[in-house]
Amino acid sequence: MTIEIKISKQLIPYKYAIKCLKKRVNSIKIGKEKELLWILEHPTTFTAGIRSEKKEILDKKIKIIKTNRGGKITLHNPGQKIIYFALNLNKRKKDVRNLVKKIEKSIIQFLKLYKIKSKSDKKNIGIWVNGKKIAAIGVRVTGWIAYHGCSINIKNNLNSYKKIIPCGLENSKITSMDKEKNKKFYNINKNLKKIFLQNLNKI
C-alpha cells in the first residue's frame, strides 16, 4: 500500500494538525485518500491524553488542549519532531500492540543512527535513554484506522516540562538527543521518513 508522505518545514498548530488527521482518517475509511505519514513540529503546546489527571498540571496558568489520544499530559515544542500517521489496519494486521512495537523499533533505529542507545519499556510506553524518556507514543484507533503517533525530543527546550508532570514522570526524567549528544544532527527528516516507512510497511 502507498503511504503519502508530508514533511512540514513550518511550525504547524496542534489543533490544525489534529483536524487534518481526523479528516484523513474519515477519507481513508471510505477509500477516498491514501494512508498518511506526516513529519512536523508544533509551537509550544501542552496536551492531555485520555489518562491524564489535573494534579499533573503544576503551572495552573498554562493552557491545556484535551485530546483523544492515549497517554497523559505532555509537551510539544519547537525542536521536537512529531511523526503523525493515519494507517488502515483493516488492510494490515489488526494488532495495535504490533503497531506500537513497530513505532518503538523505528525510534530506536533512528536514534541508533546518531549513536544514541535507547530502549522500550513494557511498563512505561515510550523510548528511554539511560532511564530518561526521549520519545513519547500515543495512538488512537477508530474503525481499525490508527492515528496520532509519536514525538522525539531532538533539540527542544526541556525547561518547559517543569510546568507539568510529563507522562506521569518527574521533569528530571526527560531528555533529548541534544542533551545526550551535544552536536549538530543532520538529515533528521530524511532518516525519519526512511525508517518509519520501512517499519510501517511491514505491518
DSSP bridge pairs for 45: 76
Do residues 165 and 50 lie in contact, with contact meaning Cβ atoms separated by under 8 Å? no
pLDDT at 33: 96
Q: What is the pTM of this model?
A: 0.94
User: Which pairs with CB-CB distance under 8 Å and at least 24 residues apart come from 126-129?
Assistant: 126/167, 127/152, 129/175, 129/180
pLDDT at 15: 95
pLDDT at 171: 57
The phi, psi pair for 198, rounded to 5°, reads: -55, -45
Domain ranges (residues) in the chain: 3-200
Do residues 84 and 148 lie in contact, with contact meaning Cβ atoms separated by under 8 Å? yes
Do residues 178 and 157 lie in contact, with contact meaning Cβ atoms separated by under 8 Å? no
Which of 167, 192, 200, 203 is catalytic? The answer is 167
C-alpha to C-alpha distance for 188 and 48, rounded to whole angstroms: 27
C-alpha to C-alpha distance for 183 and 145, rounded to whole angstroms: 38
The three grid cell numbers given for residue 44, joined into one nine-digit string = 509550544
pLDDT at 1: 63
C-alpha to C-alpha distance for 95 and 104, rounded to whole angstroms: 15
167: annotated active-site residue: yes
pLDDT at 99: 96
pLDDT in tens, the chain (203 residues): 689 999 999 999 999 999 999 999 999 999 999 999 999 999 999 998 888 888 888 999 999 999 888 778 889 999 999 999 999 999 999 999 999 999 999 999 999 999 999 999 888 889 999 999 999 998 999 999 999 999 999 999 999 999 998 766 665 689 999 999 988 999 999 999 999 999 999 98
pLDDT at 124: 82
- Half-sphere exposure (Cβ direction) of 64: Cα atoms closer than 13 Å: 22
The superfamily (CATH) of domain 3-200 is Bira Bifunctional Protein; Domain 2 (3.30.930.10)
Query: Measuring CA to CA, which residue among 76, 4, 39 is closest to residue 193?
Result: 39
